[in-house]
Amino acid sequence: MGDKSHTSAHPGAAGRAPMADRPASVRNVVLVGHSGSGKTTLVEALALAAGAVNRAGRVEDGTTVSDHDEIEHRQQRSVQLSLVPVEWDGIKINLIDTPGYADFVGELRAGLRAADAALFVVSASDGVDGATRMVWEECAAVGMPRAIVVTHLEAARANFESMTDFCASAFGNDDPDAVLPLYLPLYGDHGPDGHAPVAGLLGLLSQQIYDYSSGERKELAPDPAQLPRIEAARNRLIEGIIAESEDESLMDRYLDGEDIDLKTLIDDLERAVARGTFHPVLAAAPAPEGSRQGLGTVEILELITGGFPTPAEHELPAVTTPQGTPAPPMTCDPAGPLVAEVVKTASDPYVGRISLVRVFSGTLRPDETVHVSGHGMADRGHADHDVDERVGALSSPFGKQQRTLSHVIAGDLACVAKLTRAETGDTLSARDNPLLMEPWQMPDPLLPLAIQAHSKADEDKLSQGLARLVAEDPTMRLEQNQATRQLVLWCLGEAHRDVALERLRSRYGVQVDAVDHKVSLRETFGEKTAGRGRHVKQSGGHGQYAICEIDVEPLPPGTGIEFVDKVVGGAVPRQFIPSVEKGVRAQAARGLATGYPLVDVRITLRDGKAHSVDSSDAAFQTAGALALREAAADARIDLLEPVASVTVLVPDDYVGPVMSDLSGRRGRVVGTEQAGHGRTLVRAEVPEIEIGRYAVDLRSVSHGTGRFHRTYARHEPMPPQIAGKFREQEHNGS
> pLDDT tens, 29-49?
999 999 899 999 999 999 999
Reported as a pLDDT band with limits 50, 70 and 90, residue 385 is confident
> pLDDT tens, 461-471?
999 899 888 88
Q: Please state, in angstroms and as integers, the Cα–Cα distance from residue 301 to each residue in 43, 89, 205, 304, 566, following that order.
A: 11, 9, 17, 5, 84
- Report the alpha-carbon distance of residue 94 to residue 115 in Å, rounded: 8
SS3 for 640? strand
E strand or H helix at 380? none
SS3 for 181? strand
Q: What is the pLDDT of residue 617?
A: 95
% residues pLDDT > 90 (the chain) = 66
Reported as a pLDDT band with limits 50, 70 and 90, residue 472 is confident
E strand or H helix at 457? helix 456-472
Bridge partners, residue 370, by sequence: 389, 430
Note whether 298 and 280 are within 8 A (CB): no
Q: What is the pLDDT of residue 24?
A: 95
Q: What is the pLDDT of residue 482?
A: 87
Counts of helices then strands in the chain (DSSP H, E): 16, 36
Give the chain's radius of gyration (CA, Å): 33
| Least confident span in 452-466, 537-551, 622-636 | 537-551
Q: What is the pLDDT of residue 381?
A: 64
Q: What is the pLDDT of residue 64?
A: 57
Domains, the chain, ordered by start: 24-313 (3.40.50.300), 319-437 (2.40.30.10), 447-515 (3.30.70.870), 522-635 (3.30.230.10), 639-733 (3.30.70.240)
Note whether 331 and 316 are within 8 A (CB): yes
**Using N-to-C axis directions, what is the helix angle for 227-243 and 262-275, rounded to 10°?**
50
Q: What is the pLDDT of residue 674?
A: 94
Quickly list DSSP for 648-699.
EEEEGGGHHHHHHHHHHTT-EEEEEEEEETTEEEEEEEEEGGGGTTHHHHHH
Reported as a pLDDT band with limits 50, 70 and 90, residue 7 is very low
Q: Mean pLDDT, the chain, as a whole number?
A: 88
Residue 127's CB is within 10 A of a number of other CB atoms, namely 15
- Look up the pTM and report it: 0.86
Closest C-alpha among 523, 512, 509 to residue 451: 512
Note whether 56 and 71 are within 8 A (CB): no
Q: 153: which residues sit within 8 A by CB, 6+ positions away?
A: 124, 160, 185, 198, 283, 284, 285, 295
- Report the alpha-carbon distance of residue 422 to residue 734 in Å, rounded: 43
Measure the CA angle with vertex 731, ends 728 and 734; round to 5°: 150
Q: What is the pLDDT of residue 18?
A: 76
- Report the alpha-carbon distance of residue 620 to residue 534 in Å, rounded: 9
Residue type, 175: D
DSSP H helices, 218-290, are 227-243, 249-255, 262-275
Is pLDDT above 60 for 55?
A: no
Note whether 528 and 488 are within 8 A (CB): no
Query: Quick one: CA torsion of 101, 107, 109, 110, rounded to 10 degrees?
Result: -160
In the chain, what is the straight-line distance between the N-terminal and C-terminal CA atoms, in Å?
69
Residue type, 475: T
> pLDDT tens, 693-715?
999 999 999 988 899 999 999 99
- For 300, left (φ over 0), alpha (ψ -120 to 50), or beta? alpha
Bridge partners, residue 371, by sequence: 388, 429
> pLDDT tens, 644-692?
999 999 999 999 999 999 999 999 999 999 998 789 999 999 999 999 9
Q: What is the pLDDT of residue 667?
A: 96
Closest C-alpha among 446, 451, 453 to residue 494: 446
- Report the alpha-carbon distance of residue 331 to residue 359 in Å, rounded: 11
- Report the alpha-carbon distance of residue 117 to residue 32 in Å, rounded: 10
SS3 for 406? coil
Q: Average pLDDT of 283-309? A: 89
Q: Average pLDDT of 389-414? A: 90
CA 352 centroid distance within chain? 24
> pLDDT tens, 225-283?
888 888 999 999 999 999 999 888 999 998 888 889 999 999 999 999 999 999 999 99
